[in-house]
């Protein structure tokens, strides 16, 4: 488990991370989201003892990283895919890490095979593509078979097959009961990978909830209904506390704040036939954009996105 207790990191008069308290629990993939400059990398560096908090504590299984007796056997991390010396081979890069932590050379071969680099283990890291570097970084994280894993943008540079492999592999690690903390800017990939989300902006916690809860809270979730008497249905839906207004496409109502069952039962009670009743589901990207709208440090003009239809 990863625990943050009121962690703050200041650089001069600017707080990169501000009073952040979290518990990243085992057995699930926890996604870590936030705009550029939100403090994600700083938070991960504090967890790993690379940056010292100005105040508060960052703990791994109840201890700061510096107090771990065999750190690679307790926590593994991928923060920089190009962290290895370019003149070393993949095998010797991992072997040096293994020997310094009392890990066998056999484990080096095992993890290289796991990440798909077994056939290029004797190639120098400097010749690796970004995707190969990502795989090597994952191998480094796995070398000590740790129960806690942190990955910062693990699919950068990977082809579609590699992206799918990382997604499934990360989920399998969580299924084994490990603590898995993953930072990414790829919303669609995070939606397919994470069970739980932590969202920060300007160093402060914005959301800490299951992914379904984050998405369901979006105002982009709505329902479209078509019936014979829209005015009658609209008045009754509003009376029951739902937000019902004319649909932008016309000849329909756009309803938020309730469920398909609420609308269907209301129409049935009024004796109105339903010709269309469809759910418009927000994506994680849309929910995330709403959550972080006030926390974006560098904002350009954007394009309004429409939710996808999922008819019932």
Q: What is the pLDDT of residue 300?
A: 55
Highest mean pLDDT among 147-151, 221-225, 241-245: 147-151
At 274, is the secondary structure helix, strand, or coil?
A: strand
Least confident residue range of 80-84, 178-182, 256-260, 266-270: 80-84
Residue with tokens 């518990």: 23
Could you give the angle at which helices 230-239 and 260-270 cross, rounded to 10 degrees?
Answer: 120
Q: How far is CA 146 from CA 30, 103, 109, 138, 277, in A?
A: 16, 12, 17, 12, 49
Superfamily of domain covering 2-210: P-loop containing nucleotide triphosphate hydrolases (3.40.50.300)
The pLDDT tens digits for 109-154 are: 999 999 999 999 999 988 888 888 889 999 999 999 999 999 999 9
What is the CATH code of the structural domain delimited by 222-281?
Answer: 3.30.70.100
Q: What is the pLDDT of residue 293?
A: 84
Q: Provide CB contacts within 8 A for 289, sequence distance 6+.
A: 305
Q: Map out the domains of the chain as residue ranges.
A: 2-210, 222-281
**pLDDT (average), residues 69-87:** 86
The pLDDT tens digits for 248-297 are: 888 999 998 788 899 999 999 999 999 999 988 888 888 888 888 877 66
């Amino acid at each position: 488990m990863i625990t943050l207790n009121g962690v703050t990191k200041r650089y001069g008069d600017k707080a990169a991370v501000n009073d952040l308290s979290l518990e990243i629990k085992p057995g699930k993939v926890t996604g870590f989201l936030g705009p550029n400059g939100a403090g994600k990398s700083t938070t991960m560096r504090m967890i790993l003892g690379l940056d010292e908090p100005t105040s508060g504590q960052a703990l791994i299984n109840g201890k700061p990283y510096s107090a771990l007796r065999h750190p690679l056997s307790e926590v593994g991390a991928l923060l920089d895919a190009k962290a290895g010396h370019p003149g070393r081979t993949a095998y010797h890069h991992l072997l040096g890490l293994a020997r310094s932590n009392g890990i066998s050379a056999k484990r080096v071969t095992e993890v290289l095979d796991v990440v798909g680099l077994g056939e290029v283990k004797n190639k120098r890291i400097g010749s690796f593509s970004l995707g190969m570097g990502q795989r090597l970084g994952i191998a480094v994280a796995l070398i000590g078979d740790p129960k806690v894993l942190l990955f910062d943008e693990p699919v950068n540079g990977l082809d579609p097959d590699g992206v799918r492999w990382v997604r499934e592999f990360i989920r399998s690690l969580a299924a084994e009961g490990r603590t898995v903390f993953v930072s990414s800017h790829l919303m669609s990939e995070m939606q397919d990978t994470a069970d739980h989300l932590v969202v920060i902006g300007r160093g402060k916690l914005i959301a800490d909830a299951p992914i379904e809860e984050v998405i369901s809270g979006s105002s982009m979730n709505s329902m479209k209904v078509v019936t014979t008497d829209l005015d009658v249905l609209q008045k009754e839906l509003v009376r029951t506390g739902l937000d019902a207004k004319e649909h932008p496409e016309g000849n329909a109502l756009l309803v938020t704040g309730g469920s398909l069952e609420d609308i269907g039962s209301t129409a049935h009670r009024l004796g109105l036939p339903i010709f269309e009743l469809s759910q418009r589901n927000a994506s994680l990207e849309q929910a995330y954009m709403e959550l972080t709208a006030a926390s974006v440090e560098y904002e350009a003009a954007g394009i309004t996105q429409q939710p996808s239809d999922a008819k019932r």
